[in-house]
Chains A and B, each alone.
Chain A
């Protein structure tokens, strides 16, 4: 059972990685196109909009990937200085808070998405729910990964390996 969960966990990471890279490459390409077309030809109107939407998708899916890799920034000083039993209790409580938040986010995210189903983007006329879809999707993925964490904790395993993230 745990072996299967671990496999699913890794699979989520393996799928999200190429997607995030593709988003980054597309973002670079679309702004390169914006610059080239403005300098040499006439400027295209839709590139900024596409860039902003790509950024939104990269943010949410990348956040899910960071979650899978345990790379979100957290202050773990107090938790790590606790005795093992207390630490496990606190980790468990933390996972429950996380699941509650992410489940609510999935729910309100999908409600928001369906509320905006008639809205279209100003430049490309894309239905905006295509963009808003990413929030319930990423939140559901992270909630699911948290459930795996909970199962692992109950089985007495180490929590997701947290590494400090180099961000400024």
Chain B
């Protein structure tokens, strides 16, 4: 049955069918062939998405989409510029810092890329930065969007792994900041090599002024994350608070959002959510089938028969995650990989939260690796640079992200956390 499933899955995937249909159709055919009553399909599809924790997905997508447009992102970037703009090549360093700021508001890599790209790229071009390279750096910084909380992939992982969303969010800060730091180092080196100009002079007055002007935007992560970590809100509730806050600020304070515009944003967020959750629903059936055929355990046993070294096996797992991230979109890859790899991770003694970080960061890197590289596509459409040029320019950032990835995965093991 597993063979039927695997063959049909690959066949339907290559035929270019929607992922949810690929998963649903191949699983259904395998269940039918295995003589399993098909009633398990609706049952598992419903139970897969009948979860209050998943309510956070549409709400964080919506809040991020509202905050990404207009004034809030412009003011956040001005604040980032006042602090780091003075460095040579400062504007590209600023685009990374803006990505880090935005990551604490948005739960998605594409939204982070779009928000930073739309506001910064015209400026970068005007100051003589190489546009493809600037766009690729913004795309690379966009990956931090799903590592620093809030994060839609972390919510999905937490639901599948039955872990708390809060613990995953807490574990995301350090890796996210490490990714940002790595990218900034490359940006500074390139700034000197390419003799980029330095921007805004460092002055306390400018910092204070831009800080105050950005305060509505800077309050958002304080409310969202502060509310979650202090235990006032559950993550799902915090996401709704973020939506209300974003709507109030955009409609009444900055007044850069019309009701018609809001309708369009809600519609887009609803469809985006449905696309993700429909894949989750379909793959709940897949996970059920795989578990009943003992596949995850077989994977674990097979892997442990190859090697008993946690370091070697972790490397194999990470390569598998990166390769999957190259060909599949983040949410789908996450939903398929997590249930298959969790038993192996548990047998290796890797903490469930740490494993979540490993899988989310690995798939985040997949957002800038073609052919399926959502951040590169978003960066390309916001900057009018061809994807091919951005894909070539992203290589140095990709290398540094992979180096940080190795560090994130292995350092806790070496230190015995």
List residues of chain A with CB under 8 Å of any chain B CB: 17, 20-21, 23-25, 27-28, 31-32, 34-35, 48, 51-52, 55-56, 58-63, 65-67, 69, 71-80, 90-91, 93-94, 97-98, 100-102, 104-105, 108-109, 111-112, 115, 131-132, 135, 164-168
Q: A31-B55, A32-B244 are in contact. List 7 more A-B contacts (CB 8 A).
A: A56-B50, A66-B271, A73-B18, A76-B16, A105-B24, A131-B46, A167-B330
How long is the Cα–Cα vector from A56 to B329 in the complex, in angstroms?
A: 22
Q: Known A25-B266, A52-B55, A66-B275; judge A98-B17 contact (CB<8 A).
A: yes
Interface membership of B317, Cβ < 8 A: no
One of A65, A71, A97, A109 near B42 (C-beta < 8 A): A109
Q: How many residues of B contact A (CB 8 A)?
A: 74
How long is the Cα–Cα vector from A141 to B24 in the complex, in angstroms?
A: 16
How long is the Cα–Cα vector from A77 to B367 in the complex, in angstroms?
A: 16
Q: Known A59-B49, A167-B110; judge A23-B18 contact (CB<8 A).
A: no
CB <8 Å contact, B20 and A63: yes
Q: Among B12, B21, B332, which residue has the most Cβ atoms of chain A within 10 A?
A: B21
Q: Which residue of B lies closest to A95 (CB)?
A: B17
CB <8 Å contact, B274 and A59: yes
How long is the Cα–Cα vector from A98 to B264 in the complex, in angstroms?
A: 29
9 A-B residue pairs with CB within 8 Å: A23-B270, A31-B59, A34-B237, A35-B237, A73-B18, A77-B16, A94-B16, A101-B24, A168-B145
Q: Is the contact region of chain A dominated by helix, strand, or loop, or is it mixed?
A: helix
**A115: B residues at CB distance < 8 A:** 39
Q: Known A21-B267, A112-B43, A164-B374; judge A71-B49 contact (CB<8 A).
A: no
Q: Known A69-B271, A71-B271, A75-B328; judge A51-B52 contact (CB<8 A).
A: yes
How long is the Cα–Cα vector from A17 to B14 in the complex, in angstroms?
A: 30
CB <8 Å contact, B275 and A168: no
B365 to chain A, nearest CB (A): 12
Q: Among B22, B54, B146, B273, which residue has the most Cβ atoms of chain A within 10 A?
A: B273
CB <8 Å contact, B42 and A94: no
How long is the Cα–Cα vector from A53 to B113 in the complex, in angstroms?
A: 32
